[in-house]
């Protein structure tokens, strides 16, 4: 999917700096530059100075909005969650109310998204970046995973309203792990159009099976 940029998340930007139109535009500009820098140059080059250069700002101006790199990373994380929440709302707008059909739309979207090279590059670098600044709790990575697991769990619960919540969570985690694992593996292999389509269709069927519980214990 196209990596859009939303308004900076509350608490991620220095208080008062993004309340006016100009401030919001600058915050969006910084987040857009941050995504581009992370995707193209990788997490090892993701420094505040490099980002200031990429955004066409002085370092002091960048730090006025995001005092520390951790603040910026948290803003990217929150913005990514907002981006996908808006994407799900958009693709489900006007869709059938049948839970199974809505789940298929979400699954189709997620699988197509990970076949986009820019998406794979961005998330692989974001995982590395979060891991480099996270503590032993893995809280930042957990927040990122929640953006996938949450919507998937909601879809699965809607399809199986009597299913125990722990089972719903387990299926959602398994499905998210499958999709994220495929993102990495897909980036390591070169596929022609036909082979890529076959891989997509198999992953799609596997996703349906996981959501329905039709897999061996």
DSSP state of 9: P
* Residue scoring higher pLDDT (31 or 196): 31
Place of tokens 């910084």: 30
> Is residue 148 within 8 Å of 154, Cβ to Cβ?
no
Q: Please state whether the predicted TM-score (pTM) of the whole model is above 0.85.
A: no
State the average pLDDT for the chain. 86
User: How many percent of the chain have pLDDT more than 70?
Assistant: 86
Written out in words, the top-level CATH class of the domain with range 1-75 is mainly alpha
Distance of CA 62 to the CA centre of its chain: 24
Q: What is the CA radius of gyration of the chain?
A: 19
| pLDDT value of position 46 | 94
| pLDDT value of position 8 | 40
| pLDDT value of position 138 | 77
88 contact partners, CB below 8 Å, separation of at least 6: 106, 109, 151
* Domain(s) of CATH 1.10.10.60: residues in the chain: 1-75
Predicted confidence (pLDDT) per residue in 64-73, tens digit: 999 998 899 9
Please determine, for residue 2, whether its predicted confidence score (pLDDT) is greater than 60: no
Sign of CA dihedral 149, 151, 154, 160: negative
> Is residue 144 within 8 Å of 78, Cβ to Cβ?
no
Instruction: Classify domain 94-217 by CATH architecture.
Output: Orthogonal Bundle (1.10)
* Domain(s) of CATH 1.10.357: residues in the chain: 94-217
* Residue scoring higher pLDDT (197 or 191): 197
Residue 27 backbone dihedrals phi, psi, to 5 degrees: -60, -45
Predicted confidence (pLDDT) per residue in 30-71, tens digit: 999 999 999 999 999 999 999 999 999 999 999 999 999 889
């Amino acid at each position: 999917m196209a990596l859009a940029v939303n308004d900076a998340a509350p608490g991620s930007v220095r208080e008062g700096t993004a309340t006016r139109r100009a401030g919001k535009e600058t915050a969006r500009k910084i987040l857009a530059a941050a995504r581009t820098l992370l995707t193209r140059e990788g997490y090892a080059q993701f420094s505040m100075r490099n980002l200031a250069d990429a955004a066409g700002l002085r370092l002091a101006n960048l730090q006025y909005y995001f005092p520390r790199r951790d603040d910026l990373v948290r803003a990217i994380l929150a913005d990514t969650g907002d981006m996908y929440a808006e994407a799900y709302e958009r693709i489900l707008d006007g869709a059938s109310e049948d839970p199974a059909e809505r789940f298929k739309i979400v699954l189709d979207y997620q699988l197509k998204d990970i076949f986009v090279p820019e998406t794979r590059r961005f998330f692989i670098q974001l995982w590395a970046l979060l891991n480099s600044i996270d503590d032993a709790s893995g809280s930042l990575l957990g927040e990122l995973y929640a953006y996938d697991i949450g919507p998937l769990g909601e879809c699965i619960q809607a399809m199986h309203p009597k299913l125990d919540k722990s089972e719903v969570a387990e299926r959602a985690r398994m499905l998210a792990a499958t999709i994220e694992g495929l993102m990495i593996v897909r980036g390591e292999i070169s596929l022609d159009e036909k082979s890529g389509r076959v891989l997509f269709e198999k992953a799609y069927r596997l996703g349906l099976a996981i959501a329905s519980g039709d897999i061996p214990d």
